[in-house]
């Protein structure tokens, strides 16, 4: 149980960092795209390691971390590629982030459905936020923005929304035995 609490706290810290990174990009799009690639690549590697840790934690419901093995591996590989191939990645960054956020939003939709099945009261908020994240991910894929600043802002918005969604999911679906003893599961 202590491992789960540590993983949940690490996941929360990483998610807050994701929200902060997204907010920085949203409000300061003048950050260079090259800098953005390196920072985002490093973040994805750390985020992937955190997701892998979450997958191997002992969560009672196994809802919040159920897809974290695959997403952790994808995050680490994508982070390494972004750092190693920055000059090529700049051209496809919004597409890569859009795909990642669309996939993450889709997985969180499934998490919302499972949360409803478990009787978690705020399942519908997870569902709504998942659709918003997936929609903004789709915008990154299909909207041909002309300026780099607009792309950076949209990426920032998407990262912040995804971070808020992840924070909400982990705080509302990860249950420890101690928290559940009152329900006598």
Indicate if the pLDDT at residue 88 is higher than 80.
Answer: no
Q: How many domains does the chain contain in total? A: 1
Indicate the average pLDDT of the chain.
79
Question: Per the domain annotation, does 50 fall within a domain?
Answer: yes
Question: Per the domain annotation, does 119 fall within a domain?
Answer: yes
Task: Let me know the angle formed at the C-alpha of 161 by 53 and 95, rounded to the nearest 5 degrees.
Answer: 85
- For residues 152 and 36, is the Cβ–Cβ distance under 8 A? yes
Structural domain harbouring 99: 2-179
Question: Per the domain annotation, does 125 fall within a domain?
Answer: yes
Question: Per the domain annotation, does 184 fall within a domain?
Answer: no
The region of weakest confidence among 70-79, 126-135, 149-158 is 149-158
The confidence score (pLDDT) of residue 77 equals: 95
Question: Per the domain annotation, does 175 fall within a domain?
Answer: yes
pTM above 0.85, yes or no: no
- For residues 103 and 134, is the Cβ–Cβ distance under 8 A? no
Confidence band for 185, pLDDT divided at 50, 70 and 90 = very low
Indicate if the pLDDT at residue 80 is higher than 90.
Answer: yes
Question: Per the domain annotation, does 84 fall within a domain?
Answer: yes
The confidence score (pLDDT) of residue 147 equals: 57
What percentage of residues in the chain have a pLDDT greater than 90? 11
């Amino acid at each position: 149980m202590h491992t789960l609490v540590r993983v949940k706290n690490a996941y929360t810290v990483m998610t807050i960092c994701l929200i902060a990174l997204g907010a920085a990009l949203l409000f300061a799009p003048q950050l260079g795209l090259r800098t953005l690639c390196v920072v985002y690549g490093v973040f994805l590697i750390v985020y992937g390691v955190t997701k892998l840790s979450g997958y191997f934690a002992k969560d009672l419901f196994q809802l919040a971390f159920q897809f974290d093995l695959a997403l952790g591996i994808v995050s680490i590989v994508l982070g390494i590629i972004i750092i190693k191939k920055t000059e090529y990645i700049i051209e496809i960054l919004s597409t890569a982030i859009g795909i990642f956020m669309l996939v993450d939003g889709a997985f969180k939709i499934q998490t919302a459905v499972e949360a409803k099945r478990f009787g978690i009261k705020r399942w519908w908020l997870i569902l709504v936020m998942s659709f918003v994240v997936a929609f903004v991910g789709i915008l990154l894929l299909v909207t041909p923005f002309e300026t780099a600043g607009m792309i950076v802002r949209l990426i920032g918005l998407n990262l912040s929304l995804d971070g808020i969604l992840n924070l909400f999911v982990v705080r509302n679906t990860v249950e420890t035995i101690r928290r559940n003893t009152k329900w006598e599961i």
